[in-house]
């Protein structure tokens, strides 16, 4: 069984000439001299490094399509016909009180100073990519309206066109960072928060100092990595002058825009874009603790950490370091996560897949707890798209996992909502939308609900934010239904007992009982 067919994929704009392909290589069984295209080998012959990335890079999202032996679909949710737990104090369980709309989906995270969210989800890191920049008001506004956290990812200050640096080289002014923070705050109602993320370049630029001095945020996030790649982040840069500027700011830029031959190739039209890359981080216990101490001295009340699908060693380090440093939230991102701003081969072929990584994380948390150490609040990430997957993740990692970080699945509602607004404005609604109506009031089922809450202010709100909120309402009801089916009326009651493994391999990896053995002893008591 081959888990992935390489050498051709819609994400890279490549395809095979033949329907018959070698499973391992993805090469056509008959590779003809004179072929006009276009597999990845064929296209790489003259476009080189461009083929490493999904196209159109920065204007779309892409998800890896490797079919791992195990994923969350190998877990199924238990259901019960008895009981109701977690109802408000004094409420007696019964058919008239145990109604699924009464399920409480709120969660919170933090070591001492907690952050509450209306839903146990939050956005992936939306950083320096073009798709994050141009859709920020839709993503951030929607997250704030839905009452969940938004993550402003790495390199936002570093690539800011309006960046001004002081004599010491540190950020003096960053209009783009200001815009991002202020947009979220504009719609924030006390639930969730904005997390600003820092990598190596951000730390060197003094992003933490700027964000604290200018905006007084409570929280900052350190980044070790993500599930999509195990190198620094990258964006595409279409302008030679812009590439040269980013090079001067200290970034890795490929090809080197300062070389005369590269400049000549750009002017000739052969080179159409450049890559800006971030540096690899180097983690040590001493360095981590020192940085945490520095950030707390700056005034941060909470510090979080994002890590990726590294080896079991780095996973254990992250959990232990976060415990010792009293980190407020550790987000563990499994492969093949990401929003498509990563090398395509790396998205598919590196890292521990989400289910395996999350199972390991639970085991390590249990071991740490048994040694009398406090386990930090955990968030899982890595390819989640709906409430069923989130429910399973919360149960699998219970009681340590408080939320799930979602990338593409929370970007799509923002983009769809934005586009609907533009289509209405341009009188160009596609039939897929116009069948529901021709106005915002007719199309968005949550519009009147939002009108009641925001009044005339709704008229000036980004339509992508309305889309995000509407998706959040669907997510909430779907999660309430699943929770009610397990008779759990409070998120804190989600437990591994609510899951069963559909395969023996899943049981072995996760420790979740096989479907034919789950609750078997309890069941057989009724047969005596």
For 409-453, the DSSP string reads HHHHHHHHHHHHHHHHHTT---HHHHTT-SSHHHH-TTHHHHHHH
Tens-place pLDDT, residues 87-111: 999 899 999 999 999 999 999 999 9
Distances (CA, A) of 247 to 107, 262, 280: 42, 14, 16
Residue 477 has pLDDT above 80, yes or no: yes
Distances (CA, A) of 480 to 269, 388, 391, 407, 427: 55, 10, 10, 22, 37
Task: Report how many domains make up the chain.
Answer: 3
Please say whether the beta carbons of 388 and 79 come within 8 A: no
Please say whether the beta carbons of 315 and 332 come within 8 A: yes
Residue 331 has pLDDT above 90, yes or no: yes
Residue 197 has pLDDT above 90, yes or no: yes
Residue 402 located in a structural domain? no
Residue 517 is classified by DSSP as T
Rounded to an integer, the average pLDDT of 475-502 is: 97
Cα of 29 vs its chain's centroid, Å: 38
Rounded to an integer, the average pLDDT of 203-226 is: 96
Residue 247 located in a structural domain? yes
- The Cα–Cα gap between 305 and 286 comes to 16
Residue 159 located in a structural domain? no
Tens-place pLDDT, residues 224-243: 999 888 888 888 899 999 99
Residue 245 located in a structural domain? yes
Tens-place pLDDT, residues 237-264: 999 999 999 999 989 999 999 999 999 9
What pLDDT shows up at residue 198? 95
- Ranges of H-type helices in 163-259: 175-187, 200-205, 207-215, 240-248
Residue 354 is classified by DSSP as H
Residue 321 located in a structural domain? no
What pLDDT shows up at residue 228? 85
DSSP structure string for 254-265:
ES-TTSHHHHHH
Residue 67 located in a structural domain? no
What pLDDT shows up at residue 1? 75
Rounded to an integer, the average pLDDT of 511-523 is: 97
Report the side by side order of strands in the sheet with 219-223: 121-123, 401-406, 378-381, 329-333, 302-307, 219-223, 194-198, 150-152, 125-126
Residue 31 located in a structural domain? yes
Q: Which residues span the domain enclosing 37?
A: 10-52
DSSP structure string for 36-103:
---SHHHHHHHHGGGGGS-SSBTTB--------S--GGGEEE---SS--BSPPTTPPPSTTT--GGG-
Please say whether the beta carbons of 379 and 337 come within 8 A: no
What pLDDT shows up at residue 347? 86
Mean pLDDT score of the chain? 94
What is the three-class DSSP state of 287? helix
Residue that finishes a domain, picked among 245, 277, 309:
277
- The Cα–Cα gap between 161 and 58 comes to 17
What pLDDT shows up at residue 212? 98
Q: How many CB atoms lie within 10 A of CB 4?
A: 16
Q: Highest mean pLDDT range out of 2-16, 45-59, 356-370? A: 356-370
pLDDT band for position 4 (cuts 50, 70, 90): confident
Residue 404 has pLDDT above 90, yes or no: yes
Please say whether the beta carbons of 379 and 122 come within 8 A: yes
Distances (CA, A) of 483 to 75, 79, 187, 395: 16, 9, 29, 11
What pLDDT shows up at residue 63? 82
Rounded to an integer, the average pLDDT of 305-332 is: 98
What pLDDT shows up at residue 59? 73
Q: What is the CA angle 188-126-350, rounded to 5?
A: 140
The share of the chain scoring above pLDDT 70, in percent, equals 99
Residue 304 located in a structural domain? no
Please say whether the beta carbons of 323 and 368 come within 8 A: yes
Rounded to an integer, the average pLDDT of 489-510 is: 97
The neighbouring-strand residues paired with 330 are 305, 378
What pLDDT shows up at residue 499? 98
Rounded to an integer, the average pLDDT of 309-333 is: 98
Please say whether the beta carbons of 164 and 190 come within 8 A: no
The sign of the dihedral angle between the CA atoms of 517, 519, 520, 521 is positive
Residue that finishes a domain, picked among 243, 277, 311:
277
What pLDDT shows up at residue 330? 98
What pLDDT shows up at residue 66? 87
- The Cα–Cα gap between 346 and 24 comes to 16
Tens-place pLDDT, residues 22-81: 989 999 999 999 999 899 999 999 989 889 888 877 677 888 888 899 999 999 999 999
pLDDT band for position 345 (cuts 50, 70, 90): confident
């Amino acid at each position: 069984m081959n888990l992935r067919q390489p050498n051709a994929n819609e994400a890279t704009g490549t395809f095979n000439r033949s329907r018959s392909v070698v499973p391992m290589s993805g090469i056509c069984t008959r590779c003809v001299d004179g072929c006009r295209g276009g597999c990845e080998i064929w296209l790489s012959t003259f476009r080189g490094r461009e083929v490493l990335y999904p196209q159109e890079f920065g204007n779309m999202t892409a998800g890896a399509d490797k079919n791992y032996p195990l994923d969350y679909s190998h877990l199924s949710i238990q259901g019960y016909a008895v009981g109701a737990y977690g109802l408000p104090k004094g409420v007696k369980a019964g058919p008239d009180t145990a109604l699924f709309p009464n399920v409480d989906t709120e969660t919170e995270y933090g070591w001492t100073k907690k952050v509450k969210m209306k839903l146990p989800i939050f956005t992936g890191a939306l950083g320096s990519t073009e798709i994050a920049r141009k859709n920020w008001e839709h993503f951030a506004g929607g997250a704030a309206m839905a009452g969940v956290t938004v993550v402003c990812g790495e390199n936002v200050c570093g690539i800011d066109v309006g960046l001004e640096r002081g004599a010491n080289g540190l950020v003096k002014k960053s209009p783009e960072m200001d815009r991002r923070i202020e947009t979220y705050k504009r719609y924030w109602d006390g639930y969730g928060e904005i997390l600003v993320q820092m990598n190596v370049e951000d730390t060197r630029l003094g992003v933490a100092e700027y964000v604290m001095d200018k905006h007084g945020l409570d929280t900052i996030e350190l980044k070790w990595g993500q599930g999509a790649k195990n190198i620094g982040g990258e964006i595409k840069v279409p302008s030679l002058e812009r590439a040269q500027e980013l090079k001067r700011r200290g970034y890795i830029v490929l090809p080197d825009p300062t070389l005369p031959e590269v400049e000549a190739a750009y002017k000739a039209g052969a080179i159409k874009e450049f890559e800006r890359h971030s540096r690899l981080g180097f983690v040590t216990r001493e360095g981590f603790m020192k940085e945490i101490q520095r950030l707390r001295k700056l005034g941060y009340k909470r510090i979080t950490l994002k890590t990726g699908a590294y080896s079991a060693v780095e996973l254990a380090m992250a959990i232990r370091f976060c415990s010792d440093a009293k980190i407020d939230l550790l987000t563990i991102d499994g492969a093949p996560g990401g929003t498509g701003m990563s090398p395509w081969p790396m998205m598919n072929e590196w890292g521990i897949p989400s289910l395996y990584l999350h199972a390991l994380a639970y085991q390590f948390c249990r071991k740490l707890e048994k040694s009398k150490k406090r386990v930090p609040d955990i968030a899982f990430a890595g390819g989640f798209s709906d409430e069923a997957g989130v429910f399973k993740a919360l149960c699998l990692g219970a009681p340590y996992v408080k939320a799930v970080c979602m990338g593409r699945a929370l970007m799509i509602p923002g983009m769809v909502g934005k586009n609907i607004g533009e289509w209405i404005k341009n009188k160009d609604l596609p039939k897929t939308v116009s069948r529901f109506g021709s106005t915002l009031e007719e199309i968005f089922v949550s519009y009147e609900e939002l009108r009641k809450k925001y009044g005339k202010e709704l008229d000036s709100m980004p339509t992508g934010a309305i889309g995000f909120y509407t998706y959040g309402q669907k997510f909430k009801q779907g999660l309430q239904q699943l929770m009610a089916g397990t008779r759990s009326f409070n998120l804190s009651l989600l437990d591994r007992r609510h899951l069963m493994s559909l395969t023996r391999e899943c049981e072995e990896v996760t420790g979740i009982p096989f479907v034919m053995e789950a609750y078997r002893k309890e069941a057989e008591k009724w047969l005596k």
